[in-house]
């Protein structure tokens, strides 16, 4: 059996008194594409942020590539795995956010080159070659010296993708990457994600409100509702035959 690249075991997360995730069990296989759908506030972003180690679980275990993100202390408290180890795990994960998060004072080429040079300690020439290659892949090979402010929202989001891809992650996380875009710019961004997905090698977790896109791209769709995975399966089952009433009601909003 193939070892999962991501494994959540009975993961709970509370903010103050509010339990946002109520026992998540989830295995993601290498190269698997998982779309996460569900109502606002159901905990989708929290799952992604936990994978990126931006949030710690209240209890439970999260493994990435077989490595524990958090260790249990004797008193039952969770502490981060040591910093070097965390950096290594984070290096396997690329993330694209809703609000691009580009460095405004750097050209788009420099935006892509920064992490390979400073985090991966690549030499400048290699970092530049790889950055140019990835910017060409997302269709921005003619804009290398432009600054983020000179680009459309869709173009900025494509830079954010190139910047994540340059790190050669094993897993890519996409958190509602089209929801801050004008409608006419959505398709160009989805098209780039489709291209990356079709290359096949990376696992992907996509939180999205684009149901057609999720149906197209995902091997598996998770419906998150009130902090639990209420339904999951291949797209044709989740979008077609589920008897889950909450899911049916959620999906009707997109018709
Ligand atoms: P979704 O992505 O499905 O909309 P989120 O994971 O963003 O849901 O949030 C789930 C719930 O957790 C929401 O009620 C949100 O207000 C709450 N929440 C998320 N992050 C924090 C935080 N840092 N502090 C307090 N509450 C939070």
ipTM for the predicted complex comes to 0.97
β-strand partners of 27: 7
Contact assessment for residue 233 and residue 221, using Cβ atoms and an 8 Å cutoff: yes
Ligand 1 mean position, distance from CA 174 (Å): 17
pTM assigned to the model: 0.91
CA of 213 to the centre of ligand 1 (A): 24
Q: At CB < 8 A and 24+ separation, what contacts does 117-123 make?
A: 119/87, 119/91, 119/167, 120/91, 120/167
Picking from 239, 230, 206, 233, the residue whose alpha carbon sits closest to that of residue 219 is 233
pLDDT at 23: 96
Whether ligand 1 lies within 6 angstroms of the CB of 54 is answered as: no
Per-residue model confidence as pLDDT tens for the chain (255 residues): 788 999 999 999 999 999 999 999 999 999 999 999 999 999 999 999 998 888 889 989 899 888 888 776 666 666 666 677 777 777 889 989 888 789 999 999 999 999 999 888 899 999 999 999 999 999 999 999 999 999 999 999 899 999 999 988 999 999 998 888 888 888 888 888 998 888 878 999 999 999 989 998 999 999 999 999 999 999 999 999 888 999 999 999 887
**Sign (positive or negative) of CA dihedral 43, 49, 54, 60:** positive
Q: What is the pLDDT of residue 242?
A: 84
Among 46, 174, 176, residue to substitute to test ligand 1 (most atoms within 8 Å of Cβ): 46
Pocket test for ligand 1, best of 35, 40, 41 (most atoms within 8 A of CB): 41
């Amino acid at each position: 059996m193939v070892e999962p690249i991501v494994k959540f075991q009975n993961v709970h997360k509370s903010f103050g008194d509010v339990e946002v995730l109520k026992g998540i069990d989830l295995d993601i296989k290498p190269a698997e594409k998982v779309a996460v759908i569900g109502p606002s506030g159901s905990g989708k972003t929290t799952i992604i942020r936990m994978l990126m180690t931006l949030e710690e679980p209240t209890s439970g275990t999260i493994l990435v590539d077989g490595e524990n993100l958090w260790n249990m202390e004797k008193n039952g408290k969770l502490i981060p795995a040591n910093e070097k180890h965390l950096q290594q795990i984070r290096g396997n994960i690329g993330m694209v956010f809703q609000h691009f998060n580009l460095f405004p004072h750097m050209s788009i080429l420099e935006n892509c080159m920064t992490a390979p040079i400073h985090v991966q300690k690549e030499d400048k020439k290699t970092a530049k070659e790889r950055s140019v290659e990835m910017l060409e892949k997302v269709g921005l090979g003619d804009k290398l010296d432009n600054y983020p402010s000179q680009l459309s929202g869709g173009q900025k989001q494509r830079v954010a993708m190139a910047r994540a891809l340059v790190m050669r992650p094993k897993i890519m996380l996409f958190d509602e990457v089209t929801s801050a875009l004008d409608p006419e710019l959505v398709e160009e961004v989805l098209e780039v994600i489709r291209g990356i997905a079709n290359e096949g090698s990376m696992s992907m977790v996509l939180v999205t409100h684009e149901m057609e896109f999720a149906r197209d791209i995902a091997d598996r769709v998770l419906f998150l509702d009130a902090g639990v995975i209420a339904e999951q399966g291949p797209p044709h089952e989740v979008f077609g035959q589920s008897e889950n009433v909450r899911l049916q009601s959620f999906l009707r909003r997109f018709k």
